Structure 1
Amino acid sequence: MFKIAINLYKYRELIAALTWKNIVVRYKQAYLGILWAVLKPVLLTLVFTLVKSFVGIETDNFPYPLITFAALMPWVFFQESVSEGVNSVTSNASLIKKIYFPREVFPLTAMVTKLVELFISFGILAAMMFYYKVMPSIYALWLPAFILYAMVVALTISFFGAAMNVYYRDIGQAIPIAMSLLMYATPVIYPLSLVQKKLLVEQAAGIWSEKLYTLYTLNPLVGIIDGFQRTLIKGIMPDFHALYPGLILTLCILPFSYWFFKRAESWFADVI
């Protein structure tokens, strides 16, 4: 992690230039421009709100559109950071063959591009909070920590996935499918409190309930999304018991993922 931070600082100008290029190319000649970045979470919020009108989902008396948009912000950031990060090396084959620089710049650039789009989404969230008369509390200061956590999770998958995708292009095709399935194992459509009620309070799975809940919280996005909702919307402390399992798992996998990427990068130019 320390080496990643050093490279991030050392090649900050290159990352900034590539990020700007990605944004310009993506939204060039688009009438809505960079507003397309927030269209996906806005539309998904509308769809989920429509579904909620037919299926009862408890939200602790908070507006469902607000809770859902707060969940979709980190989810969309993670999903698209991983999807573009995994394909970032193969999509920059011409640069890899021309000049050498640390190849982790590509997954980092993909993530930073999505970070810009995440910050734009905060403008939409602020407008929604104003509309629903929900004011942020002092606990909103936890937000940078959750954003950093989401960045680390995205990079953990992107490093390994990008290296594998150079040799097996099926990885790039499988990632969007995997992300779609993962969303249902993440409290995006429903709040974490609903899972806690079913497994920890009602013991819906019998003697396996607590073990299933621990397995569920190994998904790092569970703690991140719940953290966004609790600190931004509900104005309460993060649930650290929901955060620890995924955080520990991520910190254990990240060094291996980065090591694997660095081992594989020596042959990128030959294979691509």
Structure 2
Amino acid sequence: MLKIINNLYSYRELIVALTWKNIVVRYKQAYLGILWAVLKPVLLMLVFTVVKSFVGIETDGLPYPLITFAALIPWVFFQESVSEGVNSITSNAPLIKKIYFPREVFPLTAMVTKLVELTISFIILMAMMIYYQILPSIYTLWIPAFILYTMIVALTISFFGAAMNVYYRDIGQAIPIALSLLMYGSPVIYPLSLVQKKLLVEQAAGVWSEKLYTLYTLNPLVGIIDGFQRVLIKGVSPDFDALYPGLILTLTILPISYWYFKRAESWFADVI
């Protein structure tokens, strides 16, 4: 992890330059410009709100559009960072063949680009909070930690996925499908409290209920999304019991993922 941070600092100017290039190329000649970055979470929020009117999802008295958008902010940031991070090596083949620098710069750049879009999403969320008359609490100070955690999770997948994608291009095609399925295994459409009620209170799965809940919280996005909703909208502290399983799993896999990426990068220029 310290080596990643050191590379991030050493090549900060290159990362900034590549990030700016990505933003310019992506939104060049687009009338709405960078606002396209927030169109996805806004549209998803509207669709989920319509679905909720038919299904009747419990929200503990909180506005459903607000808690859903708070969930979509980290989810979309994670999803887009991973999708672009996995394809970052193959999409920058000309640079890789011409000059050497640490190849982790590309997944890092893909993620930093999404930080710009994340900032715009937060502005929209703040406007929604004003509309619904919900003021941020002292627990909002947890947000930088949750963003950092989301970045670590995204990099864990991106490093391994980007290296694999160089040799097996099916990975780049499979990742969007896998992430779409993962969304339904994360508390985006429904709150974590609903899962806790079904498994921990009502014991809906019988003797397997608590084990299934632990398995569910191994998904790092569960703790991240619930944390965003709790500290931003509910004004309470994070649920650490929901955070720890995914955090421990992520910190265990990250060194392995980075080691595999560094081991494979020696042959990127030859294979790509």
TM-score range, shorter chain: over 0.9
Q: Do structure 1's residue 114 and structure 2's residue 117 form an aligned pair? A: no
SS in 1 for 2:54: coil
Matched with 1:247 is: 247
Matched with 1:77 is: 77
Counterpart CA distance in 1 for 2:2 and 2:246 is 20
1:10, CA displacement in angstroms? 0.4
Task: Give CA-to-partner distance per residue, 1:58-106, whole Å, 9 cap, x none.
Answer: 1111000000000000000000100000000000000000000000000
Task: Give CA-to-partner distance per residue, 1:146-184, whole Å, 9 cap, x none.
Answer: 000000000000000000000000000000000000000
Matched with 1:193 is: 193
Matched with 1:136 is: 136
1:271, CA displacement in angstroms? 0.1
Structure 1, unpaired ranges of 5+: none
Matched with 1:182 is: 182
Structure-to-structure mapping, 1:1-272, within 5 angstroms: 1-272=1-272
Task: Give CA-to-partner distance per residue, 1:110-149, whole Å, 9 cap, x none.
Answer: 0000111001100100000000000000000000000000
SS in 2 for 1:53: helix
SS in 1 for 2:62: coil
Task: Give CA-to-partner distance per residue, 1:161-213, whole Å, 9 cap, x none.
Answer: 00000000000000000000000000000000000000000000000000000
1:13, CA displacement in angstroms? 0.3
SS in 2 for 1:244: helix
Counterpart CA distance in 2 for 1:263 and 1:78 is 25
Counterpart CA distance in 2 for 1:219 and 1:117 is 24
Counterpart CA distance in 2 for 1:144 and 1:212 is 29
| Aligned residue-pair number | 272
* Counterpart code for 1:270: D
* Counterpart code for 2:22: N
Q: Which stretches of structure 1, 4 residues or more, deviate above 2 A after TM superposition?
A: none
1:23, CA displacement in angstroms? 0.3
Counterpart CA distance in 2 for 1:270 and 1:123 is 44
Counterpart CA distance in 2 for 1:40 and 1:182 is 17
What is the percentage of aligned positions where both structures have the same residue?
88
Structure 2, unpaired ranges of 5+: none
* Counterpart code for 1:89: I
Counterpart CA distance in 1 for 2:155 and 2:168 is 19
Counterpart CA distance in 2 for 1:108 and 1:92 is 13
Q: CA RMSD in A?
A: 0.3
1:264, CA displacement in angstroms? 0.1
Counterpart CA distance in 2 for 1:147 and 1:108 is 14
Q: TM-score, length-normalised on structure 2?
A: 1.00
Counterpart CA distance in 2 for 1:214 and 1:115 is 30
Counterpart CA distance in 1 for 2:215 and 2:157 is 19
* Counterpart code for 2:151: M
Counterpart CA distance in 2 for 1:244 and 1:2 is 21
Q: TM-score, length-normalised on structure 1?
A: 1.00
